[in-house]
Amino acid sequence: MAQMTMVQAITDALRTEMKDDENVLVFGEDVGNNGGVFRATEGLQKEFGEDRVFDTPLAESGIGGLAIGLGLQGFRPVAEIQFFGFVYEVMDSISGQMARMRFRSGGSLNSPVTIRSPFGGGVHTPEMHADSLEGLMASQPGLKVVIPSTPYDAKGLLISSIRDNDPVIFLEHLKLYRSGRQEVPEESYTIPLGKADVKREGTDLTIIAYGAMVQESLKAAEELEKEDFSVEVIDLRTIQPLDIETLVASVEKTGRAMVVQEAQKQAGIAANIVAELMDRTILSLEAPVLRVTAPDSIFPFSQAEQVWLPNSKDIVETAKKVLTF
């Protein structure tokens, strides 16, 4: 075991997989010699050579095409999009192409690509760096979308993502890269995709969250405990497909639920979860399932982040509405 930040756990996962499988290739803008703009690929080119870890021209669409083509030649591409706000440049390669490869070839071809990309607010990035666009990805059949919130989850989920024979979008929250350390096993391990994790057990309310909102939800749960509310916090970890079983079991136990996301209310995946809970748990519910989200504006100018991004206070406020409905 070693104490690792999330970004170190990510590097470690990449190293582990590159050692295990010579078909794994890491590429993107400045991921080689430079080790990535967040050091996520630090040291990999030195260790595995320029043939396996390499820089590309500055063109996201081309990177997507490169990943698809390399996948067709039996490689296991792990491509990086420097910031997920730039995904619009590569939407066709992701949603229009790799997501459909297995289907459009009648199951005869596949696209075993992992797209790694940072996102998320709270660190005053310039425009189009922090936007939460996971909702776009989650609505595309053929993709899986993974968002870890801890170093331990990040490593196990990234290894699973790379080994998956279908395309996986692996979104790394900027604020979580170095926000804390956690014990992470040095050996290889996997966490199944599509499995949520109960980060805190409780009996009065289920808070469903992902990304940076998991930490905020845990903070809120602690606050609420002071008022004798027992809150269960579920970290989705994979936002598509959803772990319906874990969600339903928790909500059936607590009878109250809310969903927390950093994305705007009209975006993200919270509405999806509310709908699933309506379908499956309505007879267990004591109150409506409320959402904590960002407002439906464009992601804010950096100085306005603090008033715009949802935080533990918003969560406590909404939780009380649900708890006292």
Partner 1 sequence: MAAKKSQQFQPVETLHAIEEKFEMVQILNEEGEIVNEEADPKLSDEDLQELMRRMVFTRILDQRSISLNRQGRLGFYAPTAGQEASQLASHFALTKDDFILPGYRDVPQLIWHGWPLHQAFLFSRGHFMGNQMEEGLNILPPQIIIGAQFIQAAGVALGLQKRKKEAVAVTYTGDGGSSQGDFYEGINFAGSFRSPAIFIVQNNQYAISTPRELQTSAKTIAQKAVAAGIPGVLVDGMDPLAVYAVTRDARERAVKGEGPTLIETLCYRYGPHTMAGDDPTRYRTSDTDSEWEKKDPLIRFRKYLEAKGLWNEEKENEVIEQAKDEIKAAIKKADSAPKQTVTNMLEIMYEEIPFNVQEQLDIYKAKESK
Which of 1, 51, 297, 324 is in the footprint of partner 1 by CB under 8 A? 51
Task: Please count the residues of this chain forming the interface with partner 1, following the rule CB under 8 A.
Answer: 44
- The helix or strand, by DSSP H or E, that contains position 186, with its residue range, turns out to be none
Beta strands in the chain (DSSP E): 2-4, 24-28, 53-55, 76-80, 114-119, 144-146, 168-173, 182-184, 197-200, 205-209, 231-235, 238-240, 257-264, 290-294
- The helix or strand, by DSSP H or E, that contains position 121, with its residue range, turns out to be none
- Is 12 near partner 1 (CB under 8 A)? no
* Segment contacting partner 1 by CB under 8 A, of 80-88, 98-106, 249-257, 304-312: 98-106
Which of 33, 34, 43, 104 is in the footprint of partner 1 by CB under 8 A? 104
How far is it, in rounded angstroms, from Cα 175 to Cα 51?
A: 31
Which of 43, 49, 69, 126 is in the footprint of partner 1 by CB under 8 A? 69
Between residues 64 and 211, which has the closer beta carbon with respect to partner 1? Answer: 64
- Is 49 near partner 1 (CB under 8 A)? no
Between residues 76 and 175, which has the closer beta carbon with respect to partner 1? Answer: 76
Beta strand pairing status for 168-173 and 53-55?
Answer: unpaired
- Is 237 near partner 1 (CB under 8 A)? no
Which of 21, 50, 186, 245 is in the footprint of partner 1 by CB under 8 A? 245
What minimum distance in Å lies between the beta carbon of 54 and partner 1? 9
Check if 129 is active-site: yes
DSSP annotation of 293 reads E
User: 157 and 150 in contact (C-beta within 8 Å)?
Assistant: no
Q: CA-based angle 213:218:221, to the nearest 5?
A: 125
Q: What is the largest CA-CA distance in the chain?
A: 59
- Is 66 near partner 1 (CB under 8 A)? yes
Which of 3, 33, 165, 266 is in the footprint of partner 1 by CB under 8 A? 165
- Is 268 near partner 1 (CB under 8 A)? no
Six-digit token pair at 30?
Answer: 């400045």
User: Which residues are marked as active site?
Assistant: 129
Residues that bind partner 1 (CB under 8 A): 25, 51, 56-57, 59, 61-62, 64-75, 92-93, 96-97, 102-110, 141-142, 144, 164-166, 194, 241-245
